[in-house]
Amino acid sequence: MNTAARERLYETGNEPMISNSGDRDFDLALAHTLARISDEFSVLPGFAYYDDYDGANAYATPTARLHNSDGTVLFGQRLLKRLLATRESPEVAVAAVCAHEFGHILQYKRRLDRRVGEGQATVKRIELQADFFAGFFAGVRKREREDFPAAVFAVTQFNAGDDMINDAQHHGTKEERGAAISRGFEAGYRQQLSLSDAIEASVAYVTRI
């Protein structure tokens, strides 16, 4: 996600990692959320912040920059600041982006990015599947806590949509991204699918798009 409303699947992969946000209480709360996402997705990526000086962004890479990890998620400091300035449940907006990026780690670990992205001119299917996984996590959390503001997930990814449909880095329109979150939410909340079943549902969903 950046100021052009696009998330890049990769940066260089070598940006210096920053271990904390500077807010100890926030970092502790986020660590609990990341542990929950890891458990639901059966992944264990490294997580750190980085200086997204060229545009607010977060990204995932299959490169394991921390020992014994499934890959790495780097969250831009500028993106963090922007999300924390939102009015409604800013910490949940941060969780939405993290769940999306951890969804990419799940793709890398199970080679789902190849399965849904092969032969495609853009990364849209890959990105919408990661949105589906984020929605799935929101659905699971909603089952656990009825007052969990799951709609923030949909709004956050809706706002990250783009209309650059002929660009290789097209991630999906606002409507497509919001719909993918909603479909994943249904899989996690009402259907109560297992992760394996949710993966197959996500493949079926994005390959129809």
Q: List the pLDDT tens digit at each of the 209 positions of the chain.
A: 433 334 444 456 788 999 999 999 999 999 999 999 999 999 999 999 999 998 899 999 999 888 778 999 999 999 999 999 998 899 999 999 999 999 999 999 999 999 999 999 999 999 999 999 999 999 999 999 999 999 999 999 988 888 888 888 899 999 999 999 999 999 999 999 999 999 999 999 999 99
Bridge partners (DSSP) listed for residue 61: 72
Residues of the domain holding 62: 24-206
Q: Is 98:138 a contact under the CB 8 Å cutoff? A: no
pTM value is: 0.92
Residue 71 to residue 150: CA distance in whole angstroms: 26
Q: Is 41:104 a contact under the CB 8 Å cutoff? A: no
Residue 92 lies in a domain: yes
Residue 1 lies in a domain: no
> Count H helices, E strands: the chain?
8, 3
Q: For residue 81, which of 48, 104, 52 has the smallest C-alpha distance?
A: 52
Residue 31 lies in a domain: yes
Number of domains, the chain: 1
Six token digits for residue 178 = 């919001």
Q: Would you state the pLDDT for residue 112? A: 98
Six token digits for residue 203 = 């493949």
Q: Would you state the pLDDT for residue 11? A: 56
CB-hemisphere CA count at 13 Å for 85?
Answer: 6
Q: Would you state the pLDDT for residue 167? A: 87
Residue 4 lies in a domain: no
Residue 8 lies in a domain: no
Q: Is 7:171 a contact under the CB 8 Å cutoff? A: yes
